[in-house]
């Protein structure tokens, strides 16, 4: 399937915009077809690639690379037909599935939570040598490089073929997650002919702002196009970054000449190859110029500073179709008292205020403030909140002394970033018991609040009934309060039935789009167990038809499709459940390292 595009816009790579999404009317047939197929769980990068394939961001690709295209891309940065393409887009298959896949000829593609995304018609099964691929693509075979480490962790058997993708589920940042067709439509409506794209996986500081505004001087419009796919663990979370982007665009950019959209691509840290890849992807979104700074998509010291800019010189401009804006890094010069680059500033490096991402994280982790010459106060405050500090606790250092705490008041840490832990499940499943056990286990170590659904209904939602609309309203009120608390560094545990999937997704979006981590825990137990626990006899009355609109009996409870955790209170003790939840919070860096062992804490409380 291909889609024609407006003639005034830059053509997609390959000439046509690929569309691998099946129409809504055909989705159920594809689901039925997938039930008879072997199922393959894709990892986060592969899911990101599948989403990009579905909407045409990877045009002219219609699926994962076959052997001829793979070999050609790895060795000469072109598909087998000669089209420029710098990165292999591949699908790894466990060896034990090989025979099943060969017999079936197709694979049902699902994510790690078992959600079906689509079907791959397999045209090739072949092996890669991960070290050879690493040397070509990353310029190294060192496992310390995150891209190489990923390759070495995956199966060597690859499946190539064309994909058909189901209509996409509701995903984080949905209002910004625009497809290439949608971005092109907005560009066309604005009347832009030349469009600068800014690729970023970081917050925008003053230097980035300066570069984007230089690009606005040269083009009709700017598409701020940050990644929301998988990045390194120490990168700033996408929710935090989007709060910064929205704030800066609202206050400091011309609204009629800017557009904020998200790219669901995972970072590969492939340096120059990835810079070219980013350019071709942006071309598919209708972008004509991409800002390419030094060490674009780099990591560590694996690539020369200008390699990402120089790779464009290896190809004819018409082969790429999008022009790089080769801008030098900018910095604040104390002697010039303004932003400058090495091309415009004559002063020594000692006069420059330049902070690496690592140094920024060190300053924030120490509770210090970022210099106002480096970043706008709004950006600094959002970052401080994400690190668990209040604005009043920090004071900006004197100009030219980044991170110098002398003369500043001692910063007050809020024990880590805020979060929302959403416990959902039927009445009697154990949500409130689990919430109180969590308070006992981790409450002494950090700010923690519990929002109980019944208490919120009594104190904040008085007058609401039990219709679907009223239940959803109650859930959204809980979500709003949880978001406010979490943004201020508080860990929030909610204990509410929250029976409807869409309302829970809305609660997740409200948190994540404001930079707050959201973890859903489905607390469950068999109906017979719930009946036995019910001292008021409400379940028996509902089963006898004496109570209307009783969730789980006469009203639906929509089971979460992809919760972070499932807790069966009929099979494990509260202590065991808390231990698993605490482990998940630690894994997500939402609890301090000094947090006590959950099981021991519960034992001490019980004693």
Helix (H, G, I), strand (E, B) or coil at 118: strand
Spatial CA neighbour of 21 closest among 64, 49, 48, 56: 56
* Burial class of residue 346 (count of CB atoms within 10 Å of its CB; 0-12, 13-18, 19+): exposed
Distance CA 386, CA 182 (A): 31
Which pair of structure tokens corresponds to residue 527?
Answer: 């109906």
CB 579 within 8 A of CB 601: no
Which tokens belong to 359?
Answer: 């140094």
CB atoms within 10 A of CB 143: 13
Tokens encoding 372 = 């106002």
In angstroms, how far is the first alpha carbon of the chain from the final one?
66
Choice among 498, 554, 569, 577 that is catalytic:
498
Distance CA 1, CA 57 (A): 14
Contacting residues for 158 by C-beta, under 8 A, at least 6 apart? 64, 65, 67, 70, 90, 91, 92, 93, 124, 125, 126, 127, 128
Q: Are 96 and 76 in contact (CB under 8 A)?
A: no
Cα–Cα distance for residue pair 260/478, rounded to 1 Å: 29
Residue 381 CA, chain-centre distance (Å), reads 21
* SS3 assignment, position 410: coil
DSSP for 562-576 reads: S-SEEEETTTS-HHH
Q: Distance of CA 279 to CAs 65, 257, 265, 410, 580, Å?
A: 19, 20, 13, 45, 42
Query: What phi, psi does 273 have (nearest 5°)?
Result: -60, -40
Distant-in-sequence, close-in-space partners of 57: CB < 8 Å, separation ≥ 6: 179, 180, 263, 265, 281, 284, 285
Rg (CA), the chain: 26
182 burial (CB, 10 Å; 0-12 / 13-18 / 19+) is middle
* C-alpha span between 180 and 187 (Å, rounded): 10
Report whether 177 contacts 227 (CB < 8 A). no
Q: Is 569 a catalytic residue?
A: no
459 by DSSP, 3-state: which? helix
Q: What are the Cα distances from residue 42, in Å, to 47, 90, 166, 584?
A: 6, 11, 15, 21
Q: What angle do CA 340, 345, 346 make, to 5 degrees?
A: 165
The residues annotated as belonging to the active site are 498
């Amino acid at each position: 399937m291909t889609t024609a595009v407006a003639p005034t816009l830059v053509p997609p790579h390959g000439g046509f915009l690929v569309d691998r999404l099946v129409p809504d009317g055909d989705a159920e047939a594809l689901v039925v077809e997938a039930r008879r197929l072997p199922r393959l769980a894709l990892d986060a990068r592969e899911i990101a690639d599948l989403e990009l394939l579905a909407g045409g961001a990877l045009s002219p690709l219609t699926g994962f690379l076959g052997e001829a295209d793979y070999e050609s891309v790895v060795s000469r940065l072109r598909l087998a037909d000669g089209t420029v393409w710098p990165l292999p887009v591949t699908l790894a298959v466990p060896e034990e599935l090989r025979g099943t896949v060969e017999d079936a000829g197709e694979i049902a593609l699902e994510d790690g939570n078992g959600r079906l995304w689509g079907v791959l018609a397999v045209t090739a099964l072949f092996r890669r040598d991960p070290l050879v691929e690493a040397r070509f693509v990353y310029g190294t075979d060192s496992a310390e490089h995150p891209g190489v480490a990923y390759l070495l962790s995956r199966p060597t058997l690859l499946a190539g073929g064309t994909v058909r993708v189901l209509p996409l589920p509701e995903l984080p940042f949905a209002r910004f997650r625009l497809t290439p067709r949608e971005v092109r439509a907005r560009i066309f409506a604005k009347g832009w002919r030349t469009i600068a794209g800014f690729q970023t996986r970081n917050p925008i500081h003053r230097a980035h702002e300066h570069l984007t505004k230089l690009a606005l001087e040269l083009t009709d419009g700017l598409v701020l196009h940050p990644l929301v796919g998988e990045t390194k663990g120490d990168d700033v979370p996408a929710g935090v970054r989007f709060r910064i982007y929205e704030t800066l665009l609202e206050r400091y950019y011309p609204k009629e000449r800017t557009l904020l959209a998200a790219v669901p691509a995972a970072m590969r840290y492939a340096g120059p190859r990835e810079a070219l890849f980013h350019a071709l992807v942006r071309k598919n979104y209708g972008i004509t110029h991409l800002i390419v700074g030094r060490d674009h998509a780099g990591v560590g010291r694996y690539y020369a500073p200008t390699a990402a800019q120089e790779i464009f010189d290896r190809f004819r401009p018409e082969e790429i179709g999008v022009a790089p804006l080769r801008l030098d890094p900018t910095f604040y010069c104390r002697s010039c008292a303004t932003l400058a680059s090495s091309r415009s500033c004559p002063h020594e490096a000692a006069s420059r205020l330049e902070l690496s991402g690592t140094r920024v994280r060190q300053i924030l982790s120490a509770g210090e403030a970022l210099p106002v010459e480096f970043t706008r106060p709004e950006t600094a405050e959002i970052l401080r909140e994400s690190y668990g500090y209040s604005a009043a606790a920090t004071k900006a250092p004197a100009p030219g002394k980044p991170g110098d705490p002398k003369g500043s008041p001692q910063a007050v840490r809020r024990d880590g970033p805020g979060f929302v832990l959403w416990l959902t499940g039927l009445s009697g499943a154990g949500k409130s018991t689990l919430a109180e056990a969590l308070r006992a286990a981790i409450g002494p170590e950090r700010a923690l609040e519990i929002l109980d659904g019944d208490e919120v209904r009594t104190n904040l939602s008085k007058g609401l009934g039990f219709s679907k609309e009223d239940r959803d309203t109650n859930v959204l009120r809980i979500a709003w309060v949880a978001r406010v608390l979490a943004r201020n560094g508080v860990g929030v545990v909610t204990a509410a039935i929250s029976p409807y999937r869409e309302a829970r997704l809305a609660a997740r979006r409200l948190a994540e789009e404001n930079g707050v981590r959201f973890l859903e825990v489905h607390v469950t137990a068999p109906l017979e167990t719930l009946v036995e626990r019910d001292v008021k006899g409400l379940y028996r009355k509902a089963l006898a038809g004496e109570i209307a609109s009783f969730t789980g009996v006469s009203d639906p409870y929509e089971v979460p499709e992809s919760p972070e955790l499932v807790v069966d209170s009929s099979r494990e003790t509260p202590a065991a459940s808390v231990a698993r939840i605490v482990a998940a919070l630690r894994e997500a860096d939402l609890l301090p390292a000094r947090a006590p062992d959950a099981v021991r804490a519960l034992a001490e409380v019980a004693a």
